[in-house]
Structure 1
Amino acid sequence: MRSSNIITITGAGSARTPALVGSLVKLKERFPLKKVIFYDIDSERTSKMEDYIRLVLKTYSPETEVVFTIDPDTAYENTDFVFCQMRVGKNEMRSLDEKIPLKYDLVGQETCGPGGFSYGMRSLGAMIEMVNQVRKHSKDTWILNYTNPAAIVALGLDKVFPEDKRILNLCDQPYSLMRSFAKILGVEQSILRATYFGLNHFGWFTELKGTDGKDYYETLKTYLRDYDFKPYNAEQRSKSWLDTYLRVNKYMNFFDEYIPTTYLQYYFFSEEIVSESDPNYTRADEAKDSREKEVWEICSKAVGTDSVDDIEIITNSVFGDLMVELAESIAYDLHNEFILMSRNNDIIPNFSKDAIVEVSGTVGKNGANPYKYGDIKPFYKGLMEGQHAYELLTVEAFLEKDYTKALQALTLNRTVVNPEKAKAVLDDLMEANKDYWYLS
């Protein structure tokens, strides 16, 4: 029988938390839980879901102790894993990240372009503080970080904590795409093994094979040339998300060598995306009016009841499943395969050694074991070098409070390019974020 674990969920006020709890319950035989600590500085948000979470865990995992806290010492003093999913500035700042760039006909997106820069600057400070708080109590606790924008956060943490081998940064986007690929191919996701390279939200699938001995890559590419690409849960997605997947088809009309991540749409088709965007109603509003509203309504049904009979249990979360599966692979040294973020070194020999690249690999008790990929071709290398320079300058701008480096970063970003627009949007974002970051 596997030993039980203590985990802390940092950023527990996220509307994603009930779905994460669903994954914990679904996978509890594989990853048994002694205690779950729900930590957030915003007790108002956690209070909206506390009754629901306590009821679900009492019903399906009664052996698990449940703690809610706003105290970091309580959260981190005795925990095996920290599942971190912070959104610094909450939905209000996300809304500004998306709307301010659109004033200048620039992509308004929470992890890419100027919005991603702004969000990254907020996340870096909070994440550095969080790691220091955890390490005050233990050097052995695993920090599994899902806080966005993951590329900037991962690079920043690597610069500040270069010797800390128990921080793993993860993203569910490649995992989600693999789930969509599996549905298209009519196979179980668990049998698929991908070869992938890139930066987070900036990469390509180059092989897709099955543990059944079959090569699925050309079949998938043929499908994406001939049919609309849809996410595995298309019926639950808004039009903006469906358009995101369709742009994979569009990208492959130009470059069909590899299958791209969906986020490359923002860098290749930015003008089109801006023209379709509503500057008064962005995905932040969409999320608040759909997913978040639905979560709060479900959670409210748990107030004053001791039965889950009439309550929908939120499950099938790609994000939650990935978090738990990764922790499981570490806790029991399984060496299961994931698409991982890791310092490059010689994974891609002809690329910047200090970059945080995203490639396939395994995870065990000592952390990530990324597979060596090999040299990449000039087209992809050129794209990635520019994106890495943007990420590096963003991190340096934050650490050094350097306005010029921030301006250089935004000018390098493929969604901006124009230094006049870069300066205008930077100044607006800096004013909006003055309570979180400011540059000299």
Structure 2
Amino acid sequence: MRLALLGGGGFRTPLVYGALLADTHERRVDEVWLHDLDEGRLASIRRVLDVMAARYPDPPRVHTTTSLDEALAGADFVFSAIRVGGLEGRTADERVALDLGLLGQETTGPGGLSYGLRTVPVAVRVAERVAALAPDAWVINFTNPAGMITEAMQAVLGDRVVGICDSPIGLARRAAATLGLDPAATMVDYVGLNHLGWLRGLHHEGRDVLPDLLADDTLLGSMEEGHLFGLEWVRTLGMVPNEYLYYYDFTRDAVRSITAARQTRGEYLLEQQRDFYARLAGAEDAHAEWDRVRLQRNATYMAEARGDDEERGEDEVQGGGYEEVALAIMAAISRGEPASLILDVRNDGTVAGLPDDAVVEVPCEVDGAGPRPLPVAPFLGQPLGLVQQVKAVERLVIEAALTGSERVAVQAFALHPLVDSVTVARELLAGYRARIPEVDALFRR
């Protein structure tokens, strides 16, 4: 099988290739096309992959290209992991919001809307080229904001676009492991949008065991979510929130912590990435250098929420997971290995109160026909209102990105729950246009 990986010069590409190397099935990916606009980054990541491939007798062949059409032609699967505007754009996403006293974060809040504005048109063009050059391919979308981008691409390719995120799957696995259970032996009740969801139940042998976790100080306190939200708040909710809900539930705390830090997460990663690609050119073992930086990145993830004296657990530092989800989807579709996964898929009535064509994040069964969302109980109260509001904002961003309407873009910013004024919404759009050329270009057409 042939896999096209868009954004192939990115830092996470070796995670995907490592998972491909571990796959020994006779029907596996044997040809990988890495696409990126930066030839230097492609060459650097290729060095890491070459070290990895040398350890295996028959590794998947790797090709690199800056031509999107060359990468897509004849692909069976397409992984989309692009970052429009690069990390420079991410730093602007964060700083423009912070300068106005708002949360500055990559996907949550106004920064995520800026990221979506400039990414949607590119993602749609990718979908159009997939339709032309690989009409039978399945697209697995890693690109953030994942739910929004998946929904935009589905308008072209339908259900053949699936969004994935390792965050909800990691949450479900941690909850099961904390209770001493095999995650594979549990059924998960998780529902929401990408980076906006809740673990509402965990069923084992016909019984919901999540209340056991919520009731135990030691167990709940040992989970990362227990540290982030505090035991009392998790119990008040009666469910375990996705880690990104921290930015909604503790907004002032997050803004205060990020503002007080020497640099934002984006600025940290930009500095680290520049150093990484520079050091890679002279590294004796390119893979060892990549792995060192990977662990460093994982250890500092969401540091603003944990506090200076709290370190992540070893399992969280090792990270990974989303590449396993992607391969599980491919195995289910291409060779009949059914999988149960939490994915970003078309709603089709799964979550009451949301449009059928909205993308939601829910448990799915995946087989040769693709993902099939499982029935979920309706949302009750505040979570439904929050999900509806954020989904409405996402759909406005898609509209603004495709039409170039400043009016709709301002409306999207103004209606986001983490933006407190229409005047500030206008200032946000003006700030992002001034700092990010790809955003400005949308409204100059």
Q: Flag whether TM exceeds 0.5 (same fold).
A: yes
Q: How many Å apart are 1:273 and its aligned residue?
A: 0.9
Give the alignment partner of residue 149 of structure 2, picking from 153, 178, 184. 153
Quote the Cα distance in structure 1 between the aligned partners of 2:108 and 2:400.
Answer: 17
C-alpha contact (below 8 Å) 1:245/1:262 kept by paired residues: no
How many residues in Structure 1 have an aligned counterpart in Structure 2? 418
Aligned equivalents of 1:412 and 1:419: distance in 2?
Answer: 8
C-alpha displacement of 1:183: 3.6
In structure 1, the residue corresponding to 2:269 is in which secondary structure?
helix
What is residue 339 of structure 1 aligned with on the other side? Answer: 342
SS of residue paired to 2:152: helix
> Aligned equivalents of 2:262 and 2:438: distance in 1?
23
Match of 1:390 among 368, 389, 393: 393
Q: Are 1:261 and 2:265 counterparts?
A: no
Higher-helix-fraction structure: 2
State the partner residue of 1:179: 173
Compute the displacement of 1:428 (Å). Answer: 0.3
> Conserved in 2, the CA contact under 8 Å of 1:146 and 1:171?
yes
1:176 shift after superposition:
2.0
Flag the 1:153–1:52 CA change in 2: closer, same or farther, 3 A.
same
**Quick one: distance in 2 between partners of 1:420 and 1:229?**
43
The structural deviation recorded for 1:302 is: 5.3
Question: Residue in 1 aligned with 2:308?
Answer: none
Q: Which residue identity does 1:116 align to in structure 2?
A: G
Task: Give the match for residue 22 of structure 1.
Answer: 18
CA, structure 1 residues 186+225, in 2 after alignment: closer, same or farther (shift >3 Å)? closer
1:401 is the counterpart of 2:382? no
What letter matches 2:95 in structure 1? K
Q: Is the 8 A contact 2:88 2:270 kept in 1?
A: no
Matched position secondary structure for 1:140: coil
Name 2:38's counterpart in structure 1: 42
Q: What displacement does 1:312 show? A: 5.8
Return the alpha-carbon distance in structure 2 between the equivalents of residues 421 and 154 of structure 1.
28
Match of 2:95 among 86, 96, 99: 99
Amino acid at match of 1:6: R
Comparing 43-52 with 97-106, which one deviates more in the overlay? 43-52
Task: Give, in whole Å, the separation in 2 of the partners of 1:223 and 1:327.
Answer: 38
C-alpha deviation, 1:346, in angstroms: 1.4
Partner deviation per Cα, 1:312-364 (whole Å, 9 max, x = no partner): 69786212222212211221232310112222231123333332111111111
Conserved 8 A contact 1:48-1:300: no
Which of 372-381 and 416-425 deviates more? 372-381
Partner of 2:303: none
Mark the CA change 1:79 to 1:213 in structure 2 (over 3 Å): closer, same or farther: same
| Displacement after TM superposition at 1:228 (Å) | 3.2
| Residues 218-256 of structure 1, C-alpha deviations (whole Å, 9 max, x = no match) | 22222468743544xxxxxxxxxxxx7633336735732
Partner Cα separation in structure 1 for residue 139 and residue 16 of structure 2: 16
1:316/1:351 Cα in 2 relative to 1: closer, same or farther (>3 Å)?
closer
Change (3 A) 1:326 1:76: same
Residue among 426, 429, 432 paired with 1:426 = 429
Equivalent position SS for 1:204: strand
Whole-angstrom CA distance in 1 between matches of 2:132 and 2:24: 29
Q: Which amino acid aligns with 1:438?
A: L
Q: Residue 408 and residue 205 in structure 1: after superposition, are their counterparts in 2 closer, same or farther (change >3 A)? A: same
Match of 1:352 in 2: 355
Secondary structure of 1:15's partner? coil
In the TM superposition, residue 22 of structure 1 has moved relative to its aligned partner by: 1.7
TM-score, normalised via structure 1 length: 0.86
Cα distance between partner residues in 2 of 1:190 and 1:417: 43
Residue identity matched to 1:208: L
Q: Give the corresponding residue for 2:443.
A: 439
Question: Is the aligned partner of 1:276 residue 2:272?
Answer: no
* CA contact 2:21–2:53 (8 Å) conserved in 1: yes
Residue identity over aligned pairs, in percent, reads 25
- In structure 2, the residue matched to 1:70 is 66
Partner residue of 1:142? Answer: 138
| CA distance in 2 between partners of 1:354 and 1:342 (Å) | 9
Out of 214, 226, 249, the residue aligned to residue 221 of structure 1 is 214
Instruction: Provide the residue aligned with 1:368 in structure 2.
Output: 371
TM-aligned CA distance change 1:226 to 1:166, over 3 Å? closer
Amino acid at match of 2:239: Y
Q: Deviations over 1:251-302 (max 9, x none)?
A: 7357322211111111222122111113761111333455885687578545
Aligned-CA RMSD value: 2.8
Write the deviation string for residues 199-227 of structure 1: whole angstroms up to 9, x where unpaired.
111111111123x5564312222246874
Cα distance in 1 for residues equivalent to 2:4 and 2:191:
31
How far does residue 185 in structure 1 lie from its aligned partner after superposition?
Answer: 2.4
Matching of residues 95-244 of structure 1 within 5 Å: 95-158=91-154, 160-161=155-156, 164-210=158-204, 215-223=208-216, 227-228=220-221, 230-231=223-224
The one-letter code of the counterpart of 2:437 is: K
Whether the 8 Å contact between 2:353 and 2:388 is mirrored in structure 1 is no
**CA–CA distance in 1 between the matches of 2:163 and 2:195?**
13
- Distance in 1 separating the partners of 2:175 and 2:235: 21
Cα contact 1:84–1:144 (8 A) shared by 2: yes
Moved more, 291-300 or 51-60: 291-300
Q: Partner of 1:362: helix, strand, or coil? A: strand
Q: 1:423 to 1:168 in 2, by over 3 A?
A: same
Q: Distance in 2 between matches of 1:325 and 1:428?
A: 41
Distance (whole Å) between structure 2 residues aligned to residue 283 and residue 224 of structure 1: 31
